[in-house]
Amino acid sequence: VLRIAGRFRIGGRAIAAVELRAGHINDSFVVSTASGRRFLLQRVNRYVFPNPARVMENIVRITRHLERRLGPESARRRLTLVPAVDGGMWSETAAKEGPADWWRMYELIEDTTTELRASTPEQAFLAAQAFGRFEMQFIDLPSPPLHETIPGFHATLNRFEALDRALAAARASVAGKARHRQATAEIRSVAGHRSLAAGLSGTAARKLPRRTVHNDCKISNILFDRTTGEALCVVDLDTTMPGLAAYDFGDMVRSMSHRADEDAQNTAEAQVDLELFAALAQGYLDGAGFLTAAERRSLVDGALVLTLEQAVRFLTDHLDGDVYFRVERPGQNLDRCRVQLALLESLLARDGDLRRIVGGATT
């Protein structure tokens, strides 16, 4: 890792690297130099992002656009790529097998912290406001649109087709059959909600404007000021690409509107908290004041669809043998699926309340 760090313009010698295990996808390391500066070094996951050039081309455009829009004094409010010594914005290294590894480096934003869940409505408001402002900052992004780094990322019907393939494959092996048996109740539950998958793909949804959206709006993708608690910077830009505002709001609701851990083994707390939900709605609409009336009406549909979609994705990965989302223990992806399904039932039970809250939120 230190050798890879030396491929970037860090202004000195890299002397230490500590791996961060918080993320599900990429490999991340905090690199320290002899002069005391610190950087974030990441290896792009080639399984998730088979075309890393598109990912990096997007991130270069995103970071440069934010610098132009926010100004050079805004370094704590945006990610800054560190150039490679060869003048590029990333570096490739030969892998032991398969395609080359792609590496990138960011300047580390010091004196910040991340959260795994929203502990208060105030914190939920700040996170949602930050994601809304993030979208607002790309209203004037010059053409062409950003690349789709994962084509069909929120094509929920396609996610069900992937689940169908995983179910068929699981029945064909001894290990797969065991995983299938573990997930019998979840497979039945997901099948019962399959009709919801079309919630953002019908005629009305196809008329919604496509925005530049983040597509992974978890609170852990916000850097908060360690002293003031201010939401400073949106991170994890790999899936920032064209999409619907409802995708981002739905991601916020599925990850921040309840008090359960993402992989809780007891789903009792995976119930929508209306106070947290209201804070998310108000914060997001405060930040994303550009939304049309039709987009506002789609937000609760986004919450339902994205919660179901994430349950399907976790279930699919469990059946596939945990090849996509990083796990620390057997059954972790199945537990993640159960949390999302419990939350979905809660959201459906309070559907009318959720729509009234969004309808009453001000911009």
pLDDT (tens digit, 9 = 90+) per residue, 42-97? Answer: 999 998 999 999 999 999 999 999 999 999 889 999 999 999 999 999 999 987 77
Looking at domain 2-110, its CATH architecture is: 2-Layer Sandwich (3.30)
Question: What are the residue ranges of CATH 3.90.1200.10 in the chain?
Answer: 121-360
Phi, psi of 188, rounded to the nearest 5 degrees: -65, -40
pLDDT at 95: 77
pLDDT of residue 225: 97
For residue 268, the Cα-to-chain-centroid distance in whole angstroms is 24
Residue 202 and residue 267: Cα distance in Å, rounded?
32
Residue 24 predicted with pLDDT over 80? no
**pLDDT value at position 329?**
96
Q: Does the pLDDT of residue 32 top 90, yes or no?
A: yes
pLDDT at res. 96: 74
pLDDT tier at 362, thresholds 50, 70, 90: confident
Percent above pLDDT 90 for the chain: 91
- What is the predicted pLDDT for the residue at 244? 97
Is the previous residue joined to 151 through a cis bond, with omega within 30 degrees of 0? Answer: no
Predicted confidence band of residue 204 (pLDDT cuts 50, 70, 90): confident
Residue 46, C-beta contacts closer than 8 angstroms, at least 6 positions apart: 52, 98, 99, 101, 102
Locate CATH 3.30.200.20 in the chain: 2-110
Q: Is the model's pLDDT at 137 over the cut of 80?
A: yes
Which residue type is seen at 225? D
If one counts every other C-beta atom within 10 angstroms of the C-beta of residue 171, the result is 11
Note the pLDDT of residue 49: 94
Lowest mean pLDDT among 36-40, 46-50, 81-85, 227-231: 46-50
CATH of domain 121-360: 3.90.1200.10
Of 205-214, 277-286, 328-337, the range with the lowest mean pLDDT is 205-214
pTM for this predicted structure: 0.94
How far apart are the C-alpha atoms of 45 and 25, rounded to whole Å?
6
Longest dimension (CA), the chain: 58
Mean of the per-residue pLDDT values of the chain: 95
